[in-house]
Amino acid sequence: MIVLPLILALPILFVSAQSNDTAVQIEAIEAHFTQAALVPELLATFDPSSILTVNFDGVGDLSPGQSLTQDQVAPTPTIKITAANSSVDLTGNFTLAMVDADVVGADESNITRHWLENSVIISNGQVSNSSATAITSYAGPAPASGSGPHRYVVILYQQPASFSPPSDFSQPNLGVSKFDLNGYVKDSQLGAVVAANYFTVELVARAPQVMLP
Protein backbone atom coordinates (compact mmCIF):
# COMPACT_ATOMS: atom_id res chain seq x y z
CA MET A 1 0.00 0.00 0.00
CA ILE A 2 1.32 3.42 -0.90
CA VAL A 3 1.02 6.01 1.78
CA LEU A 4 0.92 9.41 0.26
CA PRO A 5 2.55 12.10 2.37
CA LEU A 6 -0.06 14.55 3.34
CA ILE A 7 1.11 18.09 3.66
CA LEU A 8 -1.21 20.11 5.76
CA ALA A 9 -1.05 23.80 5.30
CA LEU A 10 -1.94 24.76 8.80
CA PRO A 11 -2.99 28.33 9.27
CA ILE A 12 -0.39 29.95 11.46
CA LEU A 13 -1.77 32.42 13.92
CA PHE A 14 0.98 34.96 14.28
CA VAL A 15 0.60 37.29 17.19
CA SER A 16 2.98 40.16 16.64
CA ALA A 17 4.71 41.38 19.75
CA GLN A 18 5.69 44.52 17.89
CA SER A 19 3.19 47.29 17.36
CA ASN A 20 2.78 48.64 13.86
CA ASP A 21 2.53 52.12 15.23
CA THR A 22 5.04 54.16 13.22
CA ALA A 23 6.38 56.10 16.22
CA VAL A 24 7.23 52.82 17.96
CA GLN A 25 8.89 51.50 14.80
CA ILE A 26 10.97 54.67 14.47
CA GLU A 27 12.16 54.27 18.06
CA ALA A 28 13.09 50.66 17.29
CA ILE A 29 15.17 51.75 14.27
CA GLU A 30 16.90 54.41 16.40
CA ALA A 31 17.74 51.72 18.99
CA HIS A 32 19.13 49.45 16.26
CA PHE A 33 21.37 52.25 14.96
CA THR A 34 22.77 52.86 18.44
CA GLN A 35 23.23 49.17 19.12
CA ALA A 36 25.07 48.72 15.79
CA ALA A 37 27.24 51.76 16.70
CA LEU A 38 26.07 53.54 13.51
CA VAL A 39 25.30 56.31 15.97
CA PRO A 40 27.80 57.86 16.55
CA GLU A 41 30.24 56.15 14.11
CA LEU A 42 28.34 57.17 10.96
CA LEU A 43 25.72 59.64 12.18
CA ALA A 44 26.43 61.96 15.14
CA THR A 45 22.73 62.03 15.92
CA PHE A 46 19.70 60.26 14.45
CA ASP A 47 16.20 61.59 14.88
CA PRO A 48 14.24 60.47 11.81
CA SER A 49 10.74 61.72 11.04
CA SER A 50 9.85 58.69 8.92
CA ILE A 51 10.46 54.98 8.45
CA LEU A 52 12.63 53.87 5.54
CA THR A 53 11.84 50.34 4.39
CA VAL A 54 14.23 48.58 2.02
CA ASN A 55 12.70 45.89 -0.20
CA PHE A 56 14.71 43.48 -2.33
CA ASP A 57 12.97 41.44 -4.97
CA GLY A 58 12.55 37.91 -3.67
CA VAL A 59 13.35 38.91 -0.08
CA GLY A 60 10.65 41.42 0.81
CA ASP A 61 10.66 44.25 3.34
CA LEU A 62 13.79 44.10 5.50
CA SER A 63 13.85 44.43 9.26
CA PRO A 64 16.56 46.72 10.72
CA GLY A 65 19.99 45.09 10.61
CA GLN A 66 18.77 42.02 8.73
CA SER A 67 21.60 39.78 7.57
CA LEU A 68 21.49 38.97 3.85
CA THR A 69 23.61 37.25 1.23
CA GLN A 70 25.44 39.06 -1.54
CA ASP A 71 23.07 37.49 -4.09
CA GLN A 72 19.97 38.70 -2.24
CA VAL A 73 21.16 42.32 -2.29
CA ALA A 74 22.48 42.36 -5.86
CA PRO A 75 19.38 43.90 -7.52
CA THR A 76 18.42 47.53 -6.96
CA PRO A 77 15.98 47.62 -4.03
CA THR A 78 12.83 49.68 -3.81
CA ILE A 79 12.58 52.12 -0.92
CA LYS A 80 9.37 52.87 0.95
CA ILE A 81 8.99 55.97 3.17
CA THR A 82 6.34 56.14 5.88
CA ALA A 83 5.91 59.43 7.77
CA ALA A 84 5.60 59.32 11.56
CA ASN A 85 2.38 61.32 11.28
CA SER A 86 0.41 63.51 8.92
CA SER A 87 2.32 66.68 9.84
CA VAL A 88 5.59 65.33 8.36
CA ASP A 89 6.11 66.96 4.95
CA LEU A 90 7.38 64.52 2.33
CA THR A 91 7.10 66.83 -0.67
CA GLY A 92 10.06 68.21 -2.58
CA ASN A 93 13.46 66.80 -3.42
CA PHE A 94 15.56 64.39 -1.41
CA THR A 95 18.97 62.78 -1.74
CA LEU A 96 19.22 59.02 -1.33
CA ALA A 97 22.53 57.46 -0.33
CA MET A 98 23.73 53.98 0.54
CA VAL A 99 27.11 53.49 2.14
CA ASP A 100 29.09 50.55 3.44
CA ALA A 101 29.92 51.64 6.99
CA ASP A 102 32.19 48.58 7.30
CA VAL A 103 32.18 46.56 10.53
CA VAL A 104 31.44 47.86 14.03
CA GLY A 105 34.45 49.86 15.17
CA ALA A 106 35.62 50.89 11.69
CA ASP A 107 36.44 54.54 11.33
CA GLU A 108 34.99 57.13 8.95
CA SER A 109 37.82 56.73 6.46
CA ASN A 110 36.47 53.27 5.61
CA ILE A 111 33.01 54.40 4.47
CA THR A 112 32.29 53.39 0.86
CA ARG A 113 29.64 54.86 -1.43
CA HIS A 114 27.35 52.30 -3.13
CA TRP A 115 24.45 54.51 -4.19
CA LEU A 116 23.93 58.27 -4.47
CA GLU A 117 20.94 59.85 -6.17
CA ASN A 118 20.09 63.54 -6.03
CA SER A 119 16.60 64.96 -6.56
CA VAL A 120 14.61 61.83 -5.85
CA ILE A 121 11.02 62.44 -4.84
CA ILE A 122 8.51 60.50 -2.79
CA SER A 123 5.60 59.33 -4.84
CA ASN A 124 2.85 57.11 -3.39
CA GLY A 125 5.08 56.41 -0.40
CA GLN A 126 7.96 55.17 -2.57
CA VAL A 127 11.25 56.83 -3.43
CA SER A 128 11.04 57.63 -7.15
CA ASN A 129 14.05 58.38 -9.35
CA SER A 130 11.93 59.57 -12.28
CA SER A 131 13.58 63.01 -12.27
CA ALA A 132 16.66 62.13 -10.26
CA THR A 133 20.36 62.34 -11.05
CA ALA A 134 22.16 59.07 -10.32
CA ILE A 135 25.63 60.20 -9.24
CA THR A 136 26.35 56.57 -8.33
CA SER A 137 23.85 53.99 -9.53
CA TYR A 138 23.06 51.21 -7.09
CA ALA A 139 26.01 48.84 -6.78
CA GLY A 140 25.38 45.77 -4.67
CA PRO A 141 27.53 44.99 -1.62
CA ALA A 142 30.81 43.13 -2.07
CA PRO A 143 32.54 43.06 1.33
CA ALA A 144 35.99 41.51 1.52
CA SER A 145 35.84 37.83 2.40
CA GLY A 146 36.53 37.25 6.08
CA SER A 147 36.27 40.96 6.96
CA GLY A 148 33.17 40.51 9.15
CA PRO A 149 29.57 41.71 8.89
CA HIS A 150 29.51 44.99 6.99
CA ARG A 151 26.75 47.48 7.75
CA TYR A 152 25.03 48.86 4.64
CA VAL A 153 23.11 52.00 5.49
CA VAL A 154 20.44 53.54 3.26
CA ILE A 155 19.77 57.18 4.14
CA LEU A 156 17.28 59.73 2.82
CA TYR A 157 18.27 63.40 3.32
CA GLN A 158 16.21 66.51 2.80
CA GLN A 159 17.51 68.32 -0.29
CA PRO A 160 16.60 72.00 0.01
CA ALA A 161 16.59 74.42 -2.92
CA SER A 162 20.01 75.68 -1.72
CA PHE A 163 21.48 72.21 -2.45
CA SER A 164 24.73 72.62 -4.33
CA PRO A 165 26.93 69.53 -4.73
CA PRO A 166 30.70 69.91 -4.82
CA SER A 167 32.00 69.93 -8.41
CA ASP A 168 33.44 66.41 -8.13
CA PHE A 169 29.92 65.16 -7.32
CA SER A 170 27.97 67.14 -9.90
CA GLN A 171 28.12 64.59 -12.72
CA PRO A 172 26.44 61.18 -12.91
CA ASN A 173 28.12 57.80 -13.32
CA LEU A 174 30.66 57.88 -10.52
CA GLY A 175 31.56 54.35 -9.48
CA VAL A 176 31.79 52.78 -6.05
CA SER A 177 34.45 54.56 -4.02
CA LYS A 178 35.52 55.58 -0.54
CA PHE A 179 33.29 58.45 0.54
CA ASP A 180 33.29 61.19 3.15
CA LEU A 181 29.52 61.08 3.67
CA ASN A 182 29.33 63.73 6.37
CA GLY A 183 31.68 66.03 4.45
CA TYR A 184 29.47 65.65 1.37
CA VAL A 185 26.28 66.37 3.33
CA LYS A 186 27.82 69.54 4.77
CA ASP A 187 29.46 70.80 1.57
CA SER A 188 26.38 70.24 -0.59
CA GLN A 189 24.05 71.77 2.06
CA LEU A 190 21.80 68.79 2.40
CA GLY A 191 19.20 68.99 5.15
CA ALA A 192 18.22 66.64 7.93
CA VAL A 193 18.10 62.87 7.75
CA VAL A 194 14.45 62.08 7.00
CA ALA A 195 14.79 58.34 7.47
CA ALA A 196 17.39 55.58 7.36
CA ASN A 197 17.72 51.84 7.74
CA TYR A 198 20.46 49.24 7.35
CA PHE A 199 21.21 45.61 6.61
CA THR A 200 24.32 43.52 6.96
CA VAL A 201 26.25 41.31 4.53
CA GLU A 202 29.15 39.09 5.50
CA LEU A 203 31.33 36.96 3.27
CA VAL A 204 32.72 34.17 5.37
CA ALA A 205 36.27 33.16 4.49
CA ARG A 206 36.46 29.68 3.00
CA ALA A 207 38.29 27.12 5.05
CA PRO A 208 41.78 26.59 3.63
CA GLN A 209 41.98 23.53 1.40
CA VAL A 210 43.95 20.65 2.75
CA MET A 211 46.67 19.79 0.26
CA LEU A 212 47.40 16.09 0.17
CA PRO A 213 51.00 15.15 -0.46
Ligand X SMILES: *[C@@H]1O[C@H](CO)[C@@H](O)[C@H](O)[C@H]1NC(C)=O
Contact with ligand X (CB under 6 A): which of 39, 102, 141, 201?
Answer: 102
- In angstroms, give the least distance from the CB of 65 to ligand X: 19
Q: Does 18 bind ligand X (CB under 6 A)?
A: no
150 Cβ contact list (under 8 Å, min separation 6): 100, 101, 102, 103, 141, 143, 200, 201, 202
Evaluate the CA torsion angle 106, 176, 45, 85 in order and state its sign: negative
Mark the segment that binds ligand X (CB under 6 A) among 55-63, 99-107, 178-186, 193-201.
99-107
Distance of alpha carbon 155 from alpha carbon 128, whole angstroms: 14
135 Cβ contact list (under 8 Å, min separation 6): 116, 117, 118, 165, 169, 171, 172, 173, 174
CA angle 94, 97, 100 (to 5 degrees): 165
Contact with ligand X (CB under 6 A): which of 31, 144, 192, 205?
Answer: 144
Q: List the x/- string, 183-202, binding to ligand X by CB under 6 A.
A: --------------------
**Contact criterion met (CB below 8 Å) for 102 and 151:** yes
Q: Does 25 bind ligand X (CB under 6 A)?
A: no
Contact with ligand X (CB under 6 A): which of 28, 37, 59, 88?
Answer: 88
Q: Does 21 bind ligand X (CB under 6 A)?
A: yes
Nearer to ligand X, 26 or 68 (CB): 26
Q: Does 78 bind ligand X (CB under 6 A)?
A: no
DSSP tally for the chain: helices H, then strands E: 3, 11
Nearer to ligand X, 2 or 161 (CB): 161
Nearer to ligand X, 45 or 87 (CB): 87
Mark the segment that binds ligand X (CB under 6 A) among 62-70, 103-111, 179-187, 198-206.
103-111
Which neighbouring-strand residues pair with 128? 121
Distance of alpha carbon 182 from alpha carbon 38, whole angstroms: 13
Q: Does 84 bind ligand X (CB under 6 A)?
A: yes
**Cis peptide upstream of residue 40 (ω within 30 degrees of 0):** yes
**How many other β-carbons are positioned within 10 Å of the β-carbon of residue 14?**
6
Binding site for ligand X (CB under 6 A): 20-21, 49, 76, 84-85, 87-88, 92-93, 102, 106-107, 110, 119, 129, 131-132, 134, 138, 144, 147, 161
